[in-house]
Amino acid sequence: MPARRRCYNPVMITEIGHFALVLALCVALLQAVLPLYGAARGDGPLIAWARPAALAQFLFVAIAFVALMHAYAVSDFSLANVAANSNSTKPLLYKLTGVWSNHEGSMLLWVFILTLFGAAVALFGRNLPPTLRARVLAVQAMIGVGFLVFILFTSNPFLRLWPAPADGMGLNPILRDPGLAFHPPCLYLGYVGFSITFCFAVAALIEGRVDPAWARWVRPWTLAAWCALTTGIAMGSWWAYYTLGWGGWWFWDPVENASFMPWLVGTALLHSAVVVEKREALKTWTILLAIIAFSLSLIGTFLVRSGVLTSVHAFANDPMRGVFILLLICLYTGGALLLFAWRAPQLAGGGLFAPISREGGLLFNNLLLTTAAATVLIGTLYPLFLDIIAHQKVSVGPPFYDMTFVPIMVPLLIAMAVGPMLPWKRGDLYAALSRLKVAFVVTAAAALVTLAATGAHSIGAACGLALAAWLFAATMTELAERVRLAADPRGALRRALHLPRATWGMILAHGGMAVVIAGITGSNAWTQERIVDARPGDKIELAGYTVALDAVNQVSGPDYTATRADMRLLRNDREIAQLHPEKRFFPVENGNATGVAIRTNLLADVYAVIGDPDGKGGYTLRLYWNPLVPWIWLGAAAMALGGIVSLTDRRHRVGAPARRRREIAAATVQAAE
Amino acid sequence: MIWRRWSFALPVVIFAGLAAGLYYGLQNDNESLPSALIDQPAPTFQLASLPGHEPGFSSADLAGHVSLVNTFASWCTPCRAEHPVLQALAATKRVPIYGIDYKDKEDAAVAWIAALGNPYTRIGADDGRVGIDWGVYGVPETFIVDRQGRIRYKHVGPLTQADLERKILPLVAKLQK
């Protein structure tokens, strides 16, 4: 029945997607101009235009995104993008995630998330003053216009290839992992989420007013972006750990740095917004942070896309695109900073505070976090800039970061423990420290036990663990005091359940940070590595375990063949686990990927990689014992969870304050009756 | 008070500098960064060995044949990406590759070589001083040195198979004639 077949036409769906993207650009153009003009003129209908426009823009980009996903799902190789990045033999999961495995598709994902946030503001921002909401959405649409033009003119995923090839070239083997389904979208949710705080900042500069209400509206968006970015970075690091097979989890690669810088500034922003909300201080600083956080996200995009720096991540090196993104950065960051220079001096200053106070502590945190971000930025761009200024040749690697990052983080972590103990306006450092007696004891004990257990040469590790113990103990002290654990242990649980969610968020996030620090310290200090040439039947000793290599086989997966080792992990001759590391070969892509075998007991990982055959029946095996490494991700998960819990706090729930007030009013009326 | 006002313009000024730098970086062709040392004699040097990879590497080793000199470090991520390419090239025995282990910890470098394989005829450990003489900008970098010991080409960044086939090997073959 040819008539029925016409109803479903894959080629048509792609064309609809392409057309929807053009429509999205048209809507974005109107959304960028009309509400802004309306807000300046006090024109109600034009102001009201922003919300439906944001929803329509989201809808059109969503159609385009789904259409591209569809083209990947049905392997429509007449699309150049699909032909270059997919293959008919791929499992469906990797066909779908292949959408953002490449430059064009990932830029479409970027814009999709941008418009998703815009639609969220339109839907959930009902309690925002209409002019502020109109301006926020207009600024967001300006970003949308820039990136939609970028996609349509330099990186269009809907371009056709004629004649269509019989099959696609496949997906980079390193990306062929379930991690691809989560890591890039999470990271983009974080990157692009900061666009909302950026828009709020620019809108506030246009309005010329920053007040506690503004900070209250901005905080949930900052929190949401921060949670996503934390999760995204942690996932990326975990992914690198288990797929690259290098045993490491962070490499100070320019692209890793690109995601870490917005995180540092976003963390600072999260804390300074509290000061604006509670005390009306640090207003202009908070605005500046909001601009910088998103600008660093843009610079991150630029670094990944332009190939200006050498990195393993830079898969789309095209100077033309680099110039275009740089132009967009100049437009948005430059424009926002010019607006800042012009309008920020007129913002009224806020409450005064003593250096030793909650505000003082948060300011200290901000200074250190931004210094850390600046350090990473300098480290990332140093080779480029020193060459320009002095024609000198340098290299920047972990030695630079070890030297500069540790001295910044140590005071930050020490202060992080004390900060929450200080009251607003004016605090008493001695009183706060005297509440931390238990924490002092725990810290000293952690340092001494570490030194006693591992010898005097691990002083650095002892300091690291002591720092982690200090932060953890102080955070728990704070929790214990809040629920009055010592005075009334029985009622403590009930009080714990009634603590504000934001407090729980803080405790989870700070406690999680302590766990991360312990994990980093353990991994830096005590990792053991064995590299051996082994034959089936050999046994290798590793950190009190024995790894028995029983056999090496050739196996085949859905789209690869693999050399697979059968190993047993033994402790005192008792089998604990089986390990099956693989070295996979992908014939379509003519590339290899490592399948690492990891056995964790949450205290340490045993990590096994199989390498090349030596031609004499043996294989190169790399075995690592990575103590405390799982804590890095456990801690990061606790931090992200803290952010989510805090996000559900009553104050951040949309319309919640109003509802609560009504309930109280109703209760009072009832009581009066 | 005028200073307070101007201080608000500081971020945009800093940003302008940053943007100009990034623009300059884009214009710079990353791959064939001109070196002041092209066609100059390679510097004279003597580098100590890594433990287990004796002897070290000195300028005398380069005399009389065409060779590649590659800088690397165990902390360098792109070097890992490049390493299989070097391994494959070494297996063909078309040209000897000499390694300069740049600003690295000895044991880390030894472990790195043990894990990934050793494509190098000789390896010298450099604390950075010899690298400066070679005009090393970062790692990895690869130089082609001719029979007379002159630097004929410099490649910045990780080598890919395509770089080898298009640039490195044709020039090596020409110099070897």
Integer CA distances (angstroms), A617 to A288, A535, A568, A608, A620, in order:
62, 6, 19, 19, 10
Residues A193, A99 share a domain: no
CA A405 to chain centre: 19
Q: Please report the pLDDT score of residue A528 as a whole number.
A: 85
Give the rounded percent of residues in chain B with a pLDDT score beyond 70.
Answer: 91
Residues A351, A262 share a domain: yes
Residues A274, A199 share a domain: yes
Q: What is the pLDDT of residues A451-476, one digit of tens each?
A: 888 876 778 888 999 999 999 999 99
Helix, strand, coil percentages in chain B from 3-state DSSP, rounded to 5: 45, 20, 35
- In angstroms, how far is the first alpha carbon of chain A from the final one? 74
Give the rounded percent of residues in chain A with a pLDDT score beyond 70.
Answer: 90
Contact A395 B111 (CB under 8 A): no
Chain B residue closest in CA terms to A394: B137
Contact A319 B26 (CB under 8 A): yes
- Whole-model pTM? 0.81
Within 8 A of A251 by CB-CB distance, chain B residues are 77
Residues A224, A138 share a domain: no
Domain stop point among A174, A208, A233 = A174
Domain stop point among A423, A438, A455 = A423
A-B C-beta contacts closer than 8 Å: 110
A584 with A561: CB under 8 angstroms?
Answer: yes
Q: Mean pLDDT in chain A?
A: 85
Q: What is the pLDDT of residues A188-204, one digit of tens each?
A: 999 899 999 999 999 99
Q: Please report the pLDDT score of residue A585 as a whole number.
A: 84
Using the Cβ of A385 and the Cβ atoms of chain B, whether some distance falls under 8 Å is answered with yes
**Nearest C-alpha of chain A: how many angstroms from B126?**
13
Q: Please report the pLDDT score of residue A324 as a whole number.
A: 85
Within 8 A of A299 by CB-CB distance, chain B residues are 22
Q: Please report the pLDDT score of residue A308 as a whole number.
A: 58
Is it the case that residue A513 has pLDDT exceeding 90?
yes
What's A331's DSSP letter? I
Burial degree of A385 (CB within 10 A; 0-12, 13-18, 19+): middle
Number of domains in chain A: 3
Residues A170, A262 share a domain: no
Cα A248 to Cα A256: distance, rounded to the nearest angstrom:
13
Q: What is the pLDDT of residues A533-557, one digit of tens each?
A: 888 888 898 888 999 999 898 888 8
Integer CA distances (angstroms), A134 to A16, A117, A388, in order:
29, 14, 43
Domain stop point among A154, A174, A194 = A174
Using the Cβ of A55 and the Cβ atoms of chain B, whether some distance falls under 8 Å is answered with no
Domain boundaries B32-176, corresponding CATH code:
3.40.30.10
Query: Which of residues A139 and A165 earns the better pLDDT score?
Result: A139
Please give the structure tokens belonging to residue A178.
């379930």
Within 8 A of A338 by CB-CB distance, chain B residues are 12
Please write down the HEC assignment for all residues of A513-554.
Answer: HHHHHHHHHHHHHHCEEEEEEECCCCEEEECCEEEEEEEEEE
Question: Which contiguous run of DSSP H or E holds residue A23?
Answer: helix A10-41
Helix, strand, coil percentages in chain A from 3-state DSSP, rounded to 5: 65, 10, 20
Cα A211 to Cα B114: distance, rounded to the nearest angstrom:
60
Amino acid occupying residue A650: R
Cα A593 to Cα A245: distance, rounded to the nearest angstrom:
9
Contact A393 B139 (CB under 8 A): no
Residues A289, A329 share a domain: yes
> Which residues lie closer than 8 Å to B10 by C-beta, 6 or more apart?
none
Cα B120 to Cα B104: distance, rounded to the nearest angstrom:
16
Integer CA distances (angstroms), A353 to A369, A432, B4, B172, in order:
21, 17, 20, 69
Contact A330 B19 (CB under 8 A): yes
Q: Please report the pLDDT score of residue B30 as a whole number.
A: 45
Q: Please report the pLDDT score of residue A392 as a whole number.
A: 53
Q: Which residue has the tokens 């999961």?
A: A93
Question: Which contiguous run of DSSP H or E holds residue A7?
Answer: none
Residues A401, A312 share a domain: yes
**Nearest C-alpha of chain B: how many angstroms from A394?**
5
Query: Which of residues A335 and A323 earns the better pLDDT score?
Result: A335
**Does residue A625 belong to any structural domain of this protein?**
yes
**Does residue A496 belong to any structural domain of this protein?**
no
> Phi and psi at residue A587, in whole multiples of 5°?
-65, -35
Residue A600: give the domain boundaries.
528-630
Integer CA distances (angstroms), B161 to A137, B121, B169, in order:
47, 20, 10
Residues A263, A166 share a domain: no
Q: Which residue has the tokens 């830079």?
A: A314
DSSP-assigned letters across all residues of A224-252 = HHHHHHHHHHHHHHHHHHHHS-SS-S---
Residue B73: strand pairing partners: none
Residues A282, A253 share a domain: yes
> Phi and psi at residue A566, in whole multiples of 5°?
-100, 115
> Phi and psi at residue A31, in whole multiples of 5°?
-65, -25
Nearest to A321 by CA among A152, A139, A150, A128: A150
Is it the case that residue A307 has pLDDT exceeding 70?
no
Give the distance between the most distant pair of CA atoms in chain B. Answer: 73
ipTM summary value: 0.79
Cα A431 to Cα A396: distance, rounded to the nearest angstrom:
43
Nearest to B97 by CA among B108, B87, B109: B87
Cα A266 to Cα A640: distance, rounded to the nearest angstrom:
13
Please give the structure tokens belonging to residue A479.
């929790």
Please write down the HEC assignment for all residues of B100-168.
Answer: EEECCCHHHHHHHHHHHCCCCCEEEEECCHHHHHHCCCCCCEEEEECCCCEEEEEEECCCCHHHHHHHH
Average pLDDT over residues A552-580: 89
Test the B interface: residue of A308, A318, A528 with most B CBs within 10 Å: A308
Q: Please report the pLDDT score of residue A333 as a whole number.
A: 94
Amino acid occupying residue A616: K
A623 with A606: CB under 8 angstroms?
Answer: yes
Is it the case that residue A658 has pLDDT exceeding 50?
no
Q: Please report the pLDDT score of residue A396 as a whole number.
A: 67
Within 8 A of B24 by CB-CB distance, chain A residues are 384, 388
Q: Please report the pLDDT score of residue A258 as a whole number.
A: 86
Is it the case that residue B125 has pLDDT exceeding 50?
yes
Average pLDDT over residues A122-136: 90
DSSP-assigned letters across all residues of A260-298 = HHHHHHHHHHHHHHHHHHHH--SHHHHHHHHHHHHHHHH
Please give the structure tokens belonging to residue A261.
């810088």
Question: Which contiguous run of DSSP H or E holds residue A313?
Answer: none
Strand, coil or helix: B58: strand
Integer CA distances (angstroms), B166 to A574, A590, B1, B156, B173, in order:
55, 19, 62, 15, 12
Please give the structure tokens belonging to residue A111.
């814009």
Contact A620 B136 (CB under 8 A): no
Residues from B contacting A (CB-CB < 8 Å) are 4-5, 8-9, 11-12, 15-16, 18-19, 21-26, 30, 73, 75-78, 80-81, 102-103, 111, 114-115, 117, 131-132, 135-139, 156-158
How many CA atoms lie less than 13 Å away from A327 in the CB half-sphere?
10
**Does residue A640 belong to any structural domain of this protein?**
no
**Nearest C-alpha of chain B: how many angstroms from A24?**
29
Cα A310 to Cα A296: distance, rounded to the nearest angstrom:
18
Count the neighbouring beta carbons within 10 Å of the beta carbon of residue A536.
Answer: 16
- Which residue among B111, B117, B139 sits closest to A529, beta carbon to beta carbon? B111
**Does residue A553 belong to any structural domain of this protein?**
yes
Within 8 A of B78 by CB-CB distance, chain A residues are 310-312
Model confidence band, residue B6 (pLDDT cutoffs 50, 70, 90): confident
**Does residue A350 belong to any structural domain of this protein?**
yes
Using the Cβ of A376 and the Cβ atoms of chain B, whether some distance falls under 8 Å is answered with no
> Phi and psi at residue A397, in whole multiples of 5°?
-145, -165
B156 with B33: CB under 8 angstroms?
Answer: yes
Residues A220, A128 share a domain: no
Chain A residue closest in CA terms to B11: A337
Integer CA distances (angstroms), A246 to A37, A179, A180, A595, in order:
55, 17, 19, 11
Residues A181, A79 share a domain: no
How many CA atoms lie less than 13 Å away from A360 in the CB half-sphere?
17
Is residue B55 reached through a cis peptide bond, with omega within 30 degrees of 0 on the bond before it? yes
Model confidence band, residue A210 (pLDDT cutoffs 50, 70, 90): confident
**Nearest C-alpha of chain B: how many angstroms from A493?**
48
Residues A6, A119 share a domain: yes
**Does residue A226 belong to any structural domain of this protein?**
yes
A92 with A115: CB under 8 angstroms?
Answer: no
Integer CA distances (angstroms), A320 to A206, A305, A453, B23, B25, in order:
33, 10, 57, 11, 13
**Does residue A648 belong to any structural domain of this protein?**
no
**Does residue A516 belong to any structural domain of this protein?**
no
